[in-house]
Amino acid sequence: MIPATYPPKDEIARLAARALLEIKAVHFNAATPFTLASGLPSPTYIDCRKLISYPRIRSTLMDFLAVTVMREAGFEAFDSIAGGETAGIPFAALVAERLALPMTYVRKKPKGYGRNARIEGVMTEGQRVLLVEDLTTDGGSKLSFVDAIRETGATCGHTAVIFSYGIFEGTEARLAAHGVTLHHLCTWWDVLAEARSRGTFDAATLTEVERFLQAPRAWQDARKPA
């Protein structure tokens, strides 16, 4: 069902952050930083995949994502929804259901046999496709999915995520240079504010997380392995 209610954007951000904290998808550890896929350290880590196991929160956030896209891109802006392998697939299916649209998914690379396809499902020339993912850090990983969609003759000018890091300069500009607009529910700043409001982590941890959010590259450079 297409959602009919439209909470203000700042309330969506607050509630999304609260939901992620409630299911413990958010991890802060300043003493022993996490190692990201890039190999760089971070006092923050988020696992949006956990959402699929919490039906009430999952449903609410998918409603929020659907209304965010309709509000910011338009009610009839898309013909199809595509999920990015792997984390984006369940969320793309849920958004497609709400918007009553077909759904496909995009592989990170060709599977290496059979049709050697990157697009699974039916995507046709001229379709306007919304790419759905769980999150974005600096926007770079989205570009490969967008290019695979465009190679079919479809268009892809928008990507929607539950969570955007919101701390790396140039993320939206990088996507815009590729002809893509980013839509998101919340960022690390929203999560930090809600964590402080709810007392989810101790003050020292939250202070160090804020230092990281204010200057992530400098924080990482000072702590990366020699």
For residue range 177-191, list pLDDT tens digits in order.
999 999 999 999 999
Residue at 189 is within a domain? yes
Residue at 3 is within a domain? no
CATH of residue 38: 3.40.50.2020
Residue at 67 is within a domain? yes
Cα–Cα distances in angstroms (integers) from residue 63 to residues 67, 116, 122, 207, in the given order: 6, 34, 25, 32
| Residue type at position 37 | A
DSSP 8-state secondary structure symbol assigned to residue 28: E
Residue at 72 is within a domain? yes
Residue at 2 is within a domain? no
CB 175, CB 142: distance < 8 Å: yes
Per the structure, the complete domain to which residue 135 belongs is given by 9-221
Query: Into how many domains does the chain fold?
Result: 1
pLDDT at 38 over 80: no
pLDDT at 156 over 90: yes
Environment class of residue 72 by beta-carbon count within 10 Å: exposed (0-12), middle (13-18) or buried (19+)?
A: middle
Band the pLDDT of 110: cuts 50, 70, 90.
Answer: confident
pTM of the complete model beyond 0.85: yes
Residue at 226 is within a domain? no
Query: Beta-carbon neighbour count of residue 125 at 10 Å?
Result: 8
